[in-house]
A and B are shown apart, each in its own frame.
Chain A
């Protein structure tokens, strides 16, 4: 097989809608067989990028090769080798899960018995057999997502686009989707995933590109990225709000200026460059006689990543209005 080393190779990709520069010169290199994360807020240009790479809309300028094929001139060949699971469930809500799969199977050349068999195989693998003959509009968010991903695997693609696969899902369903993505990666499928959650990109992706206003503002492995933005956030909740000024003062002395007072009067959050410091900070507070109601160690939120990388918070872009 003459599999190219790069599943996606993009230079200077751009697309604007009216005055909005949705994608403003993006470069990407995605290794074949890897999971790659596009991380960014609503309207950053993630979906537009995916739609160009999946041949749904033509780029205004720039070069994009998918599986070695030019998306502008070889779109038909590209479509035979990719699958797209869009941001909004790309399944037919009026039909049943089984009918959805059989419909798509027929479009791909599985007729009669072979189509039925493939649909059943997918329903089983995605734990949807019990709901197979219910209309999709009665599915839960998690089931809908699983059907959506199953619909992309009727013919296993070499490259799968997953546009915000877990947005709006409960934690249990999100974990199921994560397991699915990991299994697909193990099977050798290249996955391009967009997400608003650093944690998700960290869990799944080999490399991450952070996108803001249609540009890549940072690129690297999750570890590299976290090194540049701090490895985590320690969130504290005190028993009484009266202790907060003292706690705030002491923590700032220890760390510098990376302590944030939350709106809630007993809460503080602390950016840590080294998670190992959390324990010493907690015991330090306890030595001062400041009682903690709870504490947790979280990854930085997207907003905190943006603050660290760009100096500004995530802001809703115009594109968010017309996805």
Chain B
């Protein structure tokens, strides 16, 4: 530090590149082209593009999303199928819509975890200081999550079909199911963005999210028909949003879906969006 004669730095010892840069910068600053600012929808798509770029650069993040559903489908079908439904084939037809719901609902945790790791980085300061629609970084990230949800749903269908599953409503039913799953996931994601903003570490987000998700996925009609369960548990299941989703998915994939069944499945996510959307935005603005 205090070695001989290190007074002030020699200003730009390589003067030529320095001058060149100065000129380039001057030109840059002189070009004050200011395109019209894009609207919220464009902002959301841009942030969705960011999510895609992140998947492109860090493809490992899709690994969990792809492997877990394979494990669940195979494990539960062969483990419980014979005992619960007489044959694995019969059980698979009952289980698959439930496994779809479980898989996608579990995947929503990633929204909270990704936000939690992302939000502490300086780039969010930049987003907030820019003239963009404030919720767009979050909504855009969720738009990117569509890839995750759809990928995990497609994997479940794919594995299911290899194992002998057939949808009575065909491809149209499958597309409807994926759409329904995405809408449901978008609604409940806001619970996890709230948790993601409240917790300090991704690990804490994960733990708290599981505490919330374990009961709603297991105390449901995913694995068995609740008819054999005690009355109090049946009443719990009758108000469980995941159970309504599974009922709607079964109907959609059987081709027997009615509008009320689907509407009931979407009530809970709509309410969660209405409550946790504003809470998320409030927490997001308060972040420092």
Q: Which residues from chain A sit less than 8 Å from chain B, CB to CB?
A: 17, 51, 54-57, 76, 79-80, 82-96, 99, 103-104, 106-111, 114, 121-122, 124-127, 135, 151-153, 155-156, 161, 171, 174-175, 179-180, 182-184, 186-189, 199, 203, 235, 237, 267, 294-299
Which residue of chain B has the shortest Cβ distance to A188 in the bound complex? Answer: B29
Establish whether residues B28 and A237, one from each chain, have CB atoms under 8 Å apart when the complex forms. no
C-alpha spacing A175/B12, complex, angstroms: 7
Task: Given the known inter-chain contacts A107-B130, A199-B8, A297-B7, please indicate yes or no for A95 contacting B25, CB distance below 8 A.
Answer: no
C-alpha spacing A182/B50, complex, angstroms: 33
Task: Given the known inter-chain contacts A109-B38, A122-B28, please indicate yes or no for A90 contacting B4, CB distance below 8 A.
Answer: no
Least Cβ distance of B192 to chain A in Å?
21
Closest 9 A/B residue pairs (Cβ)? A109-B35, A187-B29, A125-B24, A90-B122, A88-B122, A90-B126, A84-B129, A183-B25, A86-B125
Q: B162 an interface residue at 8 Å Cβ cutoff?
A: no
Least Cβ distance of B55 to chain A in Å?
10
21 residue pairs of the A-B complex, CB under 8 angstroms, read A54-B125, A82-B129, A86-B122, A86-B125, A92-B121, A92-B123, A94-B53, A94-B54, A107-B127, A107-B132, A108-B35, A109-B35, A125-B21, A171-B9, A183-B25, A184-B29, A187-B26, A187-B29, A296-B3, A296-B7, A297-B5
In the assembled complex, which residues on chain B have CB atoms less than 8 Å from the CB atom of A189? Answer: 29
User: Which residue of A79, A187, A295 is within 8 Å of B129 (Cβ)?
Assistant: A79
Establish whether residues A267 and B129, one from each chain, have CB atoms under 8 Å apart when the complex forms. no
C-alpha spacing A122/B129, complex, angstroms: 20
In the assembled complex, which residues on chain B have CB atoms less than 8 Å from the CB atom of A152? Answer: 126
Establish whether residues B46 and A107, one from each chain, have CB atoms under 8 Å apart when the complex forms. yes
Establish whether residues A127 and B37, one from each chain, have CB atoms under 8 Å apart when the complex forms. no
Which residue of chain A has the shortest Cβ distance to B54 in the bound complex? Answer: A94
Establish whether residues B18 and A114, one from each chain, have CB atoms under 8 Å apart when the complex forms. no
Establish whether residues B32 and A155, one from each chain, have CB atoms under 8 Å apart when the complex forms. yes
Which residue of chain A has the shortest Cβ distance to B18 in the bound complex? Answer: A179
Establish whether residues A103 and B46, one from each chain, have CB atoms under 8 Å apart when the complex forms. yes
Interface residues in B108-134 by Cβ distance below 8 A to A read: 121-123, 125-132
